[in-house]
Amino acid sequence: MKKFLFLSTLLFGVLFFSACKDEEETKDPGTLEVNFDNIAVINNVQQQLSLVTPGSTNYAYTNALGQKFNINLLRYYISAIELDGPNGEHYHDHMEATASGSKGYYLVDESIPASQLILLEDIPAGEYNKITFTVGVDSSGIVNGAAGGSLDPATCHMFWNWNSGYIAVKYEGQSDVSNGGVSGAETVTGDNPHGMAYHIGGWKDIPCGVFVYNNKRLSFTFDTVVKVESKEAPELHMVFDVIKMFGSHHNIDFTGNHNVHKPADGVEVAHNLEHAFDYDHIHQ
Amino acid sequence: MKKLLLFLLVALLFGACQKDELSTGQFRFVKPSHFPEPTYTFDINPVTKEGFELGKRIFGDPMLSRDNSVACNNCHVKAVAFADPQHALSLGVDERQGIRNAPGIANMAFMKEFMWDGGVYHLDFAPPNAIENPLEMDEKMANVVWKLNRNSTYPAQFRAAFPEMGDTITSPFVLLALSQYQTMLVSATSKYDYYKLGKGELSANELEGLQLFKQKCAACHSGELFTNQEYRNNGLDTEFSDEGRARITESAADLGKFKVPSLRNVELTDPYMHDGRFNTLEEVLDHYAAGVKQSATLATELRQGDFLGIPLTASEKKLIVDFLKTLTDHEFIQDERF
């Protein structure tokens, strides 16, 4: 009898174990392609952005104050992406900042379509309905010294030397109401009579607390779940609306300071990022 | 016999190892026993002979500047402990004048922040401030990298120093090499250090100066680095054309504050202050004794009731200067590695 009990326990254990194993084997980790579509919502209609050459007086966009503007350059960092699911699924993108390269810091540039597609890999199989990410590069990209890849200070064009750290969002363009005089810009010259530069940075979330921190950690819940596993190739579409960047929490007045190069000057635009980014849709 | 042979063999091997260790030890970062722990991230960028030599070469190479005219060691000269030997304000390309005095760069491995305003948080990110500043080297890092890649010898030297780098030089490796060189510039062999470690003596005047220094100066110039690494308005001005620390913190409470400098090798690093306005240590002490100006952000250490500054008699000033000169590190400025 004892022997029978023992054998049956063993058999049950083996069956149970292999059942678990089978379940794991059927769903291998998968990928999720996260698209960042830069748009302008005009009269409730999404329009894809179009960049103009510097100096162009062709103004396709209007801010909440009725001021016309255009865009020469739009670039931002997305980093430390996390996914969560309703059943406790969790994924944190691998982060690395070394001289040989960096991982988990993505530089999205409107002029480079490939930069707007972020492929997340090795995501545990399951259902996800929430994404969280940082707009900008936090102290993890600074405190270990010089890094390469998307963080390479020589090539990213997003690094402040004087207050060493990464710009989170860089906009350059012009408005017919701006009186120009922009300095330190990539595409706009000081003699451009209508130039504008909004370089939004400020990463020091260090204890003494006097620094303006302009990076934003944002979370968005989807209206559905996205299924991730090796047999699927789902896509998540996020949007970034330049109209909301200049007018949501705060209406940015282009007749005011339009030459923004330090953290305190960028606080309002940084606050607006909470509304400028949004979840749009999922392709399963 | 066999045992003896084995013993000899082991002894030989051990001896060889030891010799190797000594020779590479010269190019390894060593913390002086009386110094605080270094702040530099040596776990990520350990100093090697190859990396150090590469950093030294870049540090002395004028190709870092737009017109190949200015190297790091134009304004950071070894003979004066890597400070600027003559100019109050640094001179860049086309004889352009900068806005601040080039400080000495000894003991950078121990500093928490860099530059007079502390705007740089990690040593790796210090050099681009000089390289890309239009008033200094007026060059772009990307262009420096391009020039280095075109050079006939740099690429191989980079690959030897950084085997993980791959074929093409990129900017982070330039910065890592420069940090390897700079972190090795440790000044800890002055007359004061030998005294501190019980291996040498100070004269009676120097000892008296040290006591006075501790009473009157060490609130800010504290510890073995002779700086508390904080920011102070030391009463030079009532209005501030250079915002100093406030430029970084964007706080009016930091207007006119600058990093408390280390006083190591201070005898050599004249002229003094962030703008190089004083030429001698005597002028500096005269300022603290009788020249401190009132302003909202003036250091509390320089307010003693109604008195502004530090009460110092003529003989006390002289004794303090006698002590300060014991911080001059002749071995450091003559070190053949640097």
Kindly report, residue by residue over A6-23, the tens digit of the pLDDT: 445 544 444 444 444 444
| Distant-in-sequence contacts of B193-199, Cβ < 8 A, 24+ apart | B193/B32, B193/B34, B193/B329, B195/B326, B196/B34, B196/B224, B197/B33, B197/B34
Beta-strand ranges (E) seen in A177-234 are 195-201, 216-228
Cβ contacts below 8 Å, chain A against chain B, sum to: 97
| pLDDT band at residue A207 under the 50/70/90 scheme | low
Asked if the C-beta of B138 comes within 8 angstroms of chain A's C-beta atoms, the answer is: no
* Residue in the block written with tokens 């010089």: A146
Choose, out of A157, A160, A161, the residue to mutate when testing the contact with B (most B CBs < 10 Å): A161
Cβ–Cβ below 8 Å for B142 and A264: no
As given in the structure block, the two tokens for residue B196 are 């501190």
For A167, list phi and psi in degrees, rounded to 5.
-65, 135
**Picking from A7-21, A126-140, A144-158, A254-268, which range would have the lowest pLDDT averaged per residue?**
A7-21
A residues 194-213 closer than 8 Å to B (CB): 204, 210-212
User: Do A120 and A31 touch, CB atoms closer than 8 A?
Assistant: yes
* Rounded CA Rg of chain A: 23
User: Do A40 and A47 touch, CB atoms closer than 8 A?
Assistant: yes
What average pLDDT does range B44-64 have in this prediction?
A: 97
Cβ–Cβ below 8 Å for A210 and B44: no
Cβ–Cβ below 8 Å for A161 and B144: no
User: Do B288 and B232 touch, CB atoms closer than 8 A?
Assistant: no
| pLDDT band at residue B2 under the 50/70/90 scheme | low
pLDDT of residue A26 exceeding 80? no
- pLDDT for the residue A205: 78
What average pLDDT does range B130-154 have in this prediction?
A: 96
User: Pairing between strand A259-260 and A45-48?
Assistant: unpaired
| pLDDT band at residue B27 under the 50/70/90 scheme | confident
H or E element at residue B37: none
Minimal C-alpha gap between B330 and chain A (Å)? 31
pLDDT digits (tens, 9 = 90+) for B5-23: 555 444 444 444 433 333 3
Minimal C-alpha gap between A135 and chain B (Å)? 21
Higher pLDDT, A131 or A11: A131
Asked if the C-beta of B179 comes within 8 angstroms of chain A's C-beta atoms, the answer is: yes
Closest among B312, B44, B260 to B164, alpha carbons compared:
B44
- pLDDT for the residue A1: 45
Minimal C-alpha gap between A105 and chain B (Å)? 16
Minimal C-alpha gap between A154 and chain B (Å)? 5
Angle between helices B49-59 and B171-183 (to 10 degrees): 100
- Name the residue in chain A with its Cα closest to that of B176: A146
> CA dihedral defined by B233, B234, B237, B242, rounded to 10 degrees?
-40
Cβ–Cβ below 8 Å for B176 and A146: yes
| pLDDT band at residue B86 under the 50/70/90 scheme | confident
- Name the residue in chain B with its Cα closest to that of A146: B172
Choose, out of A138, A163, A203, A213, the residue to mutate when testing the contact with B (most B CBs < 10 Å): A163
User: Do B257 and B287 touch, CB atoms closer than 8 A?
Assistant: no
| Residue A204 with chain B: CB contacts under 8 Å | 121
Closest among B174, B212, B139, B170 to B55, alpha carbons compared:
B174
Average pLDDT, chain A: 91
CA pair distance B209, B206, nearest whole angstrom: 5
What average pLDDT does range A215-243 have in this prediction?
A: 97
- Name the residue in chain B with its Cα closest to that of A144: B41
Cβ–Cβ below 8 Å for A164 and B119: yes
- pLDDT for the residue B26: 78
| pLDDT band at residue A74 under the 50/70/90 scheme | very high
- pLDDT for the residue B210: 98
- pLDDT for the residue B90: 87
- pLDDT for the residue B304: 85
Choose, out of B108, B122, B243, the residue to mutate when testing the contact with A (most A CBs < 10 Å): B122
Minimal C-alpha gap between B115 and chain A (Å)? 9
Instruction: Assign A73 to helix, strand or coil.
Output: strand
A58 in the Ramachandran plot: left (φ > 0), alpha (ψ -120 to 50) or beta? Answer: beta
What average pLDDT does range A99-114 have in this prediction?
A: 97
* Residue in the block written with tokens 């400028």: A276
| pLDDT band at residue B242 under the 50/70/90 scheme | very high
As given in the structure block, the two tokens for residue B289 are 């004794």
Reported ipTM: the value is 0.88
Cβ–Cβ below 8 Å for A161 and B164: no
What average pLDDT does range B37-43 have in this prediction?
A: 97
What average pLDDT does range A219-226 have in this prediction?
A: 97
CA pair distance A91, B104, nearest whole angstrom: 47
- pLDDT for the residue B12: 46
Beta-strand ranges (E) seen in A85-177 are 90-92, 96-98, 101-103, 105-109, 117-123, 126-135, 159-160, 165-175
| pLDDT band at residue A210 under the 50/70/90 scheme | confident
Average pLDDT, chain B: 92
| Residue A212 with chain B: CB contacts under 8 Å | 250
